[in-house]
Structure 1
Amino acid sequence: MDNLCHTLVGAALAQSGLKKRSPLGTATLLIAANLPDLDVISLAWGNTAGLAFRRGWTHGVLALSLSPFLLAAAMVGFDRVGKRGGARFWPLVGLSAIGVGSHPLLDLLNTYGVRWLMPFSNRWYYGDTLFIVDIWVWLLLGAGVLMSMRRERYGGSDWRLPARAALGAATAYTMGMFMVGRLAVAQVRFELNAAGVSTPRVLASPIPVTPIDRDVVVDEGEGYLVGSIRVGGNFVPGSHWPKRAPSTDMDDPAVSMAASTPAAATFLWWARYPSYIVDRRGNTTVVHFIDLRYARSPESSFGTLSVPISSAQLALSRPH
């Protein structure tokens, strides 16, 4: 999820009453809720390098186990340097663990996924439940936090209730979105299987703003079918896309050569539904790799990688 969502979760947890466990409780929860995203520094080495590193080490069980202690120690140290006094290590460890733990749970909910078991396993886990930027979660949590803070400011004894209600409402909304996604997948499978179409994998991705609509990618074995569905309605098929696989590389040496580059190897490892478009212009062939989770065009700002291959490179790759 986006960092505003993580921050609002941290704020709602604080306003639910957890901040009273120790001085600096609110700050600890806000920092902890965003702490795993320290891996954003990997983008300094390029977007493709970021794909290989993000939602891995800092989101895995080892970092999740150690970071609460490190953050709590840092907060106690900050408290002592500022001569504030009162910050307690073990309560802050507990708050840090709650905040840090909330982060990969939220990240699990979208189609990007998270690598829970890093560094012991590089496997991705996907929830396919919420769009990465969900304004309804923002509104629910934001309203709860603001109402809670207002009541607290004016001395209301029940100031914790709005934040707790917001957390409950956001949880209920998420559960509803999970069911919407599963119903969409089941409907697509039913319709395509009835038509004799194989459906080894079906992705029903949440889209912005509209909770009952899903963007669909169907793995048909030899290729992909994309389309859309609204819960309660029928699957609306769109276009067919080729599947990037070793068998397709045999048909086009440009695809094989492009796929063997380090950047493409990383991108294809990360992609769940990798397809491609081959663009031949003059002496250069450009292979556009596309992850159909996020893109349908090489011009998309995310989920694509373009690899140029010169005619000279292709000539060298041909057997003599």
Structure 2
Amino acid sequence: MDNLTHSFVGAVLGQAGLKRTTGLAMPALIIGANLPDVDAACFFWLEGTEHLAFRRGITHGPPALVLLPLILAGILWAFDRWQTRRGTRPEARLPVRFGWLYGLAFIGCLSHPALDWLNVYGIRLLEPFSSQWFYGDTLFIIDPWLWALLIGSVGWSWWREKLGGDQRPIARGAIAVMLAYIGVNGAITWLDNATRGTMTEPYPRAYIAAPLPLTFWRREQIAQLEDGRWISSDWKGSDFGYGYANSDQRQCRLPDLTEARRTNSQLDAFLFWSRAPFASRAADGSVILYDARFYDPRARDRFSVALPDVECVELSAG
């Protein structure tokens, strides 16, 4: 999920009562909820699609979820001691308890992969013990409805607290509604997968029920047919490549890339990450690899790999 969602999940947990456990509880929860995304720094040293193979892996796995909160708790504890020595520590701040700081940072960190698992991008929950990708297919990566719920509840609870009231029921109610919302979306995805949506025989070889932005009750039905083509119920022309305005865009037979990926780090990273890879014809007749979940022929850098030395063998459009 996006970092705004992660941040407000940490904030609503604090408003639900956890911030009363120790000084600096809110920073521990909010920063902790974003901490696994330190892997975004890989953009400084990785090129092209190599980030796809690195992100949502090692910093989202079990060892990181233990160590990252420990580092954060140590920094916050040291910050409190530093302010005390300088005489700048706020008088209203509760005593800082390291054990509670670590526990809250851990809860914040744990909420991060739990949310990331909910979308179609995927997450390697067991890294470094296993590189298997897990997909929840439950929420779109940016969910405005979740934004509205979290921002509204945090703001309302803060306002009530400032007026001397108890903010905890508001935040706890928001958490209950959020969990119910996730549950309903999970049920929609489950039902769509069970029925294959509106698709009829011949049934697809592979199928993804992908959540959509805003219209959370709908699912983009992404499917791979027996001939290897990927189609989508919610994309232009309902067929990747054939529905695009550029008539040169055609799906190609996916070649054997076993040898090529050994010497091409971009290709290897893409195929390691891709859940629904397909080949499309470039203007010069060569091949471009896309992923059916993130298909956009106008933005070829982030979620695609060009293979200029591979000739496109087109699949039938019918």
TM over 0.5: yes
Is 1:223 the counterpart of 2:233? The answer is no
Q: TM-score, normalised by structure 1?
A: 0.84
Alpha-carbon distance, 1:134 to partner: 0.4
Q: Deviations over 1:64-94 (max 9, x none)?
A: 1222222111111111011138211001111
Partner of 1:152: 161
Distance of 2:71 and 2:127 partners within structure 1 = 18
Is 1:73 the counterpart of 2:71? The answer is no
Distance of 1:133 and 1:245 partners within structure 2 = 34
Q: What pairs with 1:206-217 in structure 2 (closer than 5 Å)?
A: 206-217=211-222
Alpha-carbon distance, 1:4 to partner: 0.3
Q: Greater strand percent: which structure? A: 1
Partner of 1:232: none
Q: Greater helix percent: which structure? A: 1
Q: Which amino acid aligns with 1:175?
A: G
CA contact (8 A) 1:227 1:239 kept: yes
CA contact (8 A) 1:298 1:306 kept: no
Select which of 169, 175, 195 maps to 1:187.
195
Partner of 1:244: 254
Number of aligned residue pairs: give it. Answer: 292
Partner of 2:63: 62
Give the aligned CA root-mean-square deviation in angstroms.
Answer: 2.6
Alpha-carbon distance, 1:217 to partner: 1.4
Mean CA deviation greater in 158-167 or 54-63 = 158-167
Select which of 177, 190, 202 maps to 2:185.
177
Distance of 1:297 and 1:280 partners within structure 2 = 11
Alpha-carbon distance, 1:307 to partner: 3.6
Is 1:264 the counterpart of 2:262? The answer is no
Q: Deviations over 1:232-267 (max 9, x none)?
A: xxxx99226556352xx69xxxxx868962211211
Partner of 2:293: 293
Partner of 1:110: 119
Alpha-carbon distance, 1:165 to partner: 1.1
CA contact (8 A) 1:56 1:114 kept: yes
Mean CA deviation greater in 175-184 or 103-112 = 175-184
SS at match of 1:288: strand
SS at match of 1:272: coil
Q: Deviations over 1:133-172 (max 9, x none)?
A: 000000011111000000001101x211111111111111
User: Looking at both structures, which has the greater relative contact order when contacts are Cα pairs under 8 Å and sequence separation is at least 6?
Assistant: 2
SS at match of 1:136: helix
Distance of 1:14 and 1:80 partners within structure 2 = 22
SS at match of 2:73: helix
Distance of 1:188 and 1:49 partners within structure 2 = 33
The 1:16/1:301 distance shift into structure 2, 3 A limit, reads farther
Q: TM-score, normalised by structure 2?
A: 0.84
Q: Which amino acid aligns with 2:116?
A: D
Distance of 2:216 and 2:301 partners within structure 1 = 23
Mark the runs of 5 or more structure 2 residues left unpaired by the alignment: 241-250, 312-318
The 1:245/1:183 distance shift into structure 2, 3 A limit, reads farther
